[in-house]
Structure 1
Amino acid sequence: MKQLLLISMVALAGCGATTQKPIPDDPYYAPVLPEMQPNPVIRSGSLFQDGYAQNLYSDIKAHRVGDIITVELSESTSAKKSAKNEIDKESEVGLQTPILMGSPLTVNGNEVNASIAMENSFSGESDADQSNSLNGSISVHVVQVMANGNLVVRGEKWMTLNQGDEFIRLSGIIRPEDISTDNSIPSTRVANARIQYAGTGAFADAQEQGWLSAFFNSPLMPF
């Protein structure tokens, strides 16, 4: 038993040591830069040429691969759940005195009879209350323009604060119609959104369980 416990601890320690923590400049969140396509200048006498991205009548909203859009984070979730169960069960069985030859059956002058009574009860109650909120902003790149015109966006923001790093990562799909005139969109309008907010460093490490505490709180513990 001691050997099994020691092997389990070593295995958990190895798993914890191989856990990869997020690092800046992840290739998945790297910015997508549009390719420069030279446009031949046609001497037509006009101040503007067809094919140029920006002119007096163009929109500043993001619509191409490599464009940048600001996502306003305004996430708020709240969940509350309560449950209460009560179960009661009673049962009783009685055996009357048998009649033998017209007379009650007796043993040493006492009538033979029996009775069994059983009662079970169970009561359980649970409550859960959780709320989260995230506010701020992050600028992301358009990494793909879908066939229906929707934009796939992805990006990250890293901030070094004292003894650790804080980062925000976001990816999802947005509709060009939801982009406001200042080239921003609320996070509630991002479809299939994946938002990560966490940190690294001494403060983040202090909030994590040690490998021994994780073992005793894991499903492997039978107690």
Structure 2
Amino acid sequence: MFTSLWQKLAIAAAALSLAACASAPQPTPMPDDPYYAPMMPEEQVEPAVPNGSLFRGQAVNGLYSDIKARNLGDIITVQLQEQTTASKSANTGTSRNTNIDLPSPTLFGREVRVAGNPLSAQINGGSDFSGASSADQSNQLQGEITVTVIRVLPNGNLIVRGEKWLTLNNGQEYVRLTGIIRPQDVRSDNTIQSNRVANARIEYSGTGSLANAQREGWLTRFFNGPIWPF
């Protein structure tokens, strides 16, 4: 009895330790993350060409050129207009009935009886199942974040990345964005809507006491996680 009790306690302790390791908190986001740092273009010294003129063809803009971002290090403002709504419901019902009649056996054409009672039998069985589920979810994010061009692809598309931090009384909130955009989708004022960003990764969260109060403890995550068998 005592051996079985110690075994159960050892199993429970091992499960708790595994849950604590599996639910280890992720590193706290910090401002000035090098991954989201703006890409600074390298300064290039133009070679002096002795052509006898003050005109420089490398620095001239076309007659119909604009100021839209298209080069490494240029700045683009992304207007966050994200809204998603999802709804799903399912209903399942099954029913099954089984009836089996076993007549009394016969021997030499006569019904076999025991103590005057026939040996016939009847088996009835049935099963019913019904289930229902529903899920509704909606998200909305609005705002703006200014990012920089960190890479120009061979086809002219731009990879952008950036972050914005807001310091509040009891913590900090941040918005991070990375993705790919087409220069044709950038407006004349260097803005673009977030639904025009391909492979977009938008992260909006916070740090501090308010954010910590909304997170479950590791023991609560264990009881609500897939490891807990009940």
TM-score by length of 1: 0.92
Of residues 114, 124, 133 in structure 2, which corresponds to 1:117?
124
User: Which consecutive residues of structure 1, in runs of 5 or more, have no partner in the other structure?
Assistant: none
Find 1:205's aligned residue among 188, 197, 212: 212
Q: Secondary structure at the match of 2:104?
A: coil
Instruction: Specify every segment of 5 or more residues in structure 2 that has no aligned partner in the other structure, as ranges.
Output: 1-7
How many percent of aligned residue pairs carry the same amino acid? Answer: 50
User: Which amino acid in the other structure matches residue 212 of structure 2?
Assistant: D
Are residues 1:67 and 2:74 paired? yes
8 A contact 1:69–1:140 mirrored in 2: yes
Deviation, 1:56, is 7.0
2:151 aligns with one of 144, 149, 169: 144
Report how far residue 102 of structure 1 moved.
2.4
1:81 to 84, 88, 98: 88
Distance 1:134 1:18 in 2: 25
Instruction: Count residues with an aligned counterpart.
Output: 221
Instruction: State whether residues 20 and 218 of structure 2, in contact with CA within 8 Å, keep that contact through their aligned partners in structure 1.
Output: yes
| Match in the other structure for 1:13 | 20
- Using the TM superposition, give the Cα deviation of residue 5 of structure 1 relative to its aligned residue in structure 2, in angstroms: 1.7
Which residue pairs with 2:32 in the alignment? 25
Q: Which residue in 1 is equivalent to 2:141?
A: 134
CA distance in 2, matches of 1:16, 1:105: 69
Which amino acid letter does the alignment assign opposite residue 111 of structure 2? P
Q: 1:65 to 1:130 in 2, by over 3 A?
A: same
In the aligned structure 2, how far is the partner of 1:54 from the partner of 1:5?
A: 72
Bigger mean CA offset, 93-102 vs 62-71: 93-102
**2:3 maps to which residue?**
none
User: How far, CA to CA, are the matches of 1:105 and 1:134 in structure 2?
Assistant: 81
Cα-Cα RMSD: 1.8
Task: State the distance in 2 between where 1:53 and 1:131 align.
Answer: 50
Deviation at 1:77, TM superposition (A): 0.6
Q: How does 1:186-205 map to 2 (within 5 A)?
A: 186-205=193-212
Partner Cα separation in structure 1 for residue 119 and residue 105 of structure 2: 7
**Match for residue 44 of structure 1 among 43, 47, 53:** 53
